[in-house]
Structure 1
Amino acid sequence: MPMQKLTTEQWLERLHTDGLQPNMQELMYYRTKLPAFARHQRQLPASSQSGALLSKTRGRGMEFDEVRHYQPGDDVRSIDWRVTARTGKAHTKLYREEKDRPVYIVVDLALTQLFGSQLLFKSVQACHLASALAWQTLQRGDKVGGIISNGWLQNEYKPSLQHKSVMHFLRGLTEVHQDSLQRWQQQTPPHPAPLNQSIEHLTHLVKPGSLINVISDFEHIETKTLEQLARLNTRSSVRSFKLFDPMEQQLPAGYSSQPLSIHDGERQAMVNLNNARQRLDYHQRAMSEFEQLFERFNQYRLPLTRVSSAIALEQQWPELR
């Protein structure tokens, strides 16, 4: 049965998931999707609002090879200024290509991610995306590592080529998500900035030439964190994936005369779904905030790709090329 014809219930049954808490079986599912990965382009995003889910670009290798005269088109960041100053002529450092590029997957499982109106929680979709990237990276022959955090727990995984390391990473996704789910059910106030902490820690781990995938809803991203990502992007390749749910942008028309209570963990408001004006105001404000986030990423020349929690991940691959 083709995936696009599956109902929500059938898709959840196929992955043996309830959409609220990921399990190892559904994360292992993406290992079987590698042939589908290969059918799509593997280029880095070309703009702030579009980009690839998967990348084959390895970038500059990290093992120094030799120095030669600068040639038009050479990366100015590779100029050897000491040799240039000594000889009076521009020289460029050459590097030997890395065969096992480190790939970091940073997964933000903040409590703001535990929301979903149709298929999955954003947090569960984040785990699916992290799993897909991990399996594809391992299949490509690159090292897989990363950071998984919800603010209270922060698990670090050193880049590795081993299958068991990916399994360890996937178990970390389920464990940290379970902790987030329990805190959410207990109505624990959201941690203020788990992603900001993860990126701060990442700056001390990443070596130049790495590929960094950041998965979050970026609800509380700070300017300092964007600046850190921009600096990392000058020495490595940074890709960011914005998780969102359609209801965060557009409220459905009312089916009840009772107001809907909306709560983001900090503020609460009542919205009458039968009131077209309130729905329009909600939509306009949501889209304005959405556009502002993309503008902030674009300001720092950071690619940002949207990933919906309401659509099966594999159905989004063509749009994420």
Structure 2
Amino acid sequence: MIFRNQPHNNPLTEAIQDGFLASSCQGALLTIEELVHYKTYSKRWLPPAKSLWSQLNGSHQSSTKGRGMTFSEVRQYQPGDDIRQIDWRVTARTGKAHTKLFTEEHEKPVFLLIDLAQSLFMGSELLLKSVQVCHMASLLSWMAIANGDRVGMLIRTSSGIVEIKPTNVTKNLLGMLQQLIELHNAALLQCCDIHDKQATPQDWPISTLKRVCPKGSDIILLSDFSTQTDKFESSLSALRQHHAIRAIQIFDPLEVGDTDYRGTQQVIHGNGSSLLNFSLSSTRKQLRAAFIAKQQRVEDQLTTMGIPYSQISCGSPLLKQLNGIQQ
């Protein structure tokens, strides 16, 4: 659903003044400055403080994989060494017990499934839902790199699926974010050009996630979850067996009937377009009831699969919403 005109009381200027958004944020077209802005905040929620990861993923698993991941060297046995790591060949050759040493792997792949389907290009107050998705993706990406993890992206647009391979290098992440920006802005312009038509959304790239994600990866789904099917649920359930998955739903205040706007506006949805009178409380109540029913279906699906679920509004700055997690 696309709301053609924003309500008159847009809090974007106030949000910028409060420091919650980069000064270059427009609310629709993305810029690299507003995504780099989140780098400053990436370490705020990392351990030993109470971490954002622990809130988003239940508990973000340690990036250490465990013993024996990568062979390092052999040295003479010392009291306390694990006898299972004795190198018997070297021991037999030298006549003295020697132990194999291993270095532990400190990279945990984090994959962000970023939904940029047409339904995300809606915003009634502060930002488009698609922009808030990208803001969240940026914050999570900077956090992953600050935590020593690699981060990759699968971006779902109406035109296709774009895969960006994982990296833990800042320079590469900047390139990744720039690619996300270009895809987002191109999809926005396309959406504006064909706003009287609804493109058929691409299938969720669950099979691609299975292919590219090493076992034990963290997978975070960023979407409004307006287009999921039974196939999506069964595929995601299978994926859940080998990975830690988290779902974050982005929504707009208008979808829950929360708006100060009073008047009639044309709204585009999957079945065409309609004129809605927001001066009527019944209209706002119907919007809220429809959203709650949809949200409950999504939550029930994910809860059944054991996937943690949370919501982020695009009507309020991201950091302001996450501020309570810092405590």
* TM > 0.5 fold call: yes
Paired residue type of 1:111 = Q
The offset of 1:62, in angstroms, is 8.2
What is the number of residues matched between the two proteins? 280
Task: Name which one, 1 or 2, has greater alpha-carbon Rg.
Answer: 2
The answer to whether 1:121 aligns with 2:125 is no
The residue aligned with 1:292 is 297
Identity of aligned residues (%): 23
Query: C-alpha root-mean-square deviation of aligned residues, in Å?
Result: 2.9
- Contact (CA 8 Å) 1:37, 1:54: kept in 2 or not? no
Give structure 1 stretches of 5+ with no counterpart. Answer: 45-50, 66-95
- In the superposition, the TM-score normalised over structure 1's length comes to 0.78
Structure 1 residues 9, 132: closer, same or farther in 2, change over 3 A? closer
The answer to whether 1:15 aligns with 2:23 is yes
Whole-Å Cα distance in 2 between the matches of residues 236 and 271 of structure 1? 43
- In the superposition, the TM-score normalised over structure 2's length comes to 0.76
- Contact (CA 8 Å) 1:238, 1:303: kept in 2 or not? yes
The offset of 1:40, in angstroms, is 4.0
The offset of 1:140, in angstroms, is 0.5
Say which of 199, 203, 208 aligns to 2:206.
199
- Contact (CA 8 Å) 1:103, 1:212: kept in 2 or not? yes
Structure 1 residues 166, 59: closer, same or farther in 2, change over 3 A? closer
Say which of 45, 50, 54 aligns to 1:37.
45
The answer to whether 1:58 aligns with 2:95 is no
The alignment partner of 1:107 has SS state of strand
The alignment partner of 2:274 has SS state of strand
After superposition, give the CA deviation of every residue in 1:47-76 in whole Å (9 maximum; x if it has no partner).
Answer: xxxx427964137838877xxxxxxxxxxx
The alignment partner of 1:179 has SS state of helix
Matches within 5 A, 1:134-173: 134-173=141-180
Give structure 2 stretches of 5+ with no counterpart. Answer: 1-10, 70-102
The residue aligned with 2:91 is none
Whole-Å Cα distance in 2 between the matches of residues 40 and 60 of structure 1? 19
The residue aligned with 1:275 is 280
The offset of 1:13, in angstroms, is 7.3
Whole-Å Cα distance in 2 between the matches of residues 21 and 146 of structure 1? 20
Structure 1 residues 63, 102: closer, same or farther in 2, change over 3 A? farther
After superposition, give the CA deviation of every residue in 1:73-111 in whole Å (9 maximum; x if it has no partner).
Answer: xxxxxxxxxxxxxxxxxxxxxxx9641011111111111
Whole-Å Cα distance in 1 between the matches of residues 221 and 39 of structure 2? 20
Structure 1 residues 172, 153: closer, same or farther in 2, change over 3 A? farther
Whole-Å Cα distance in 1 between the matches of residues 253 and 325 of structure 2? 17
Whole-Å Cα distance in 1 between the matches of residues 68 and 31 of structure 2? 42
The alignment partner of 2:297 has SS state of helix
- Contact (CA 8 Å) 1:146, 1:156: kept in 2 or not? yes
The offset of 1:316, in angstroms, is 1.6
The offset of 1:226, in angstroms, is 2.2
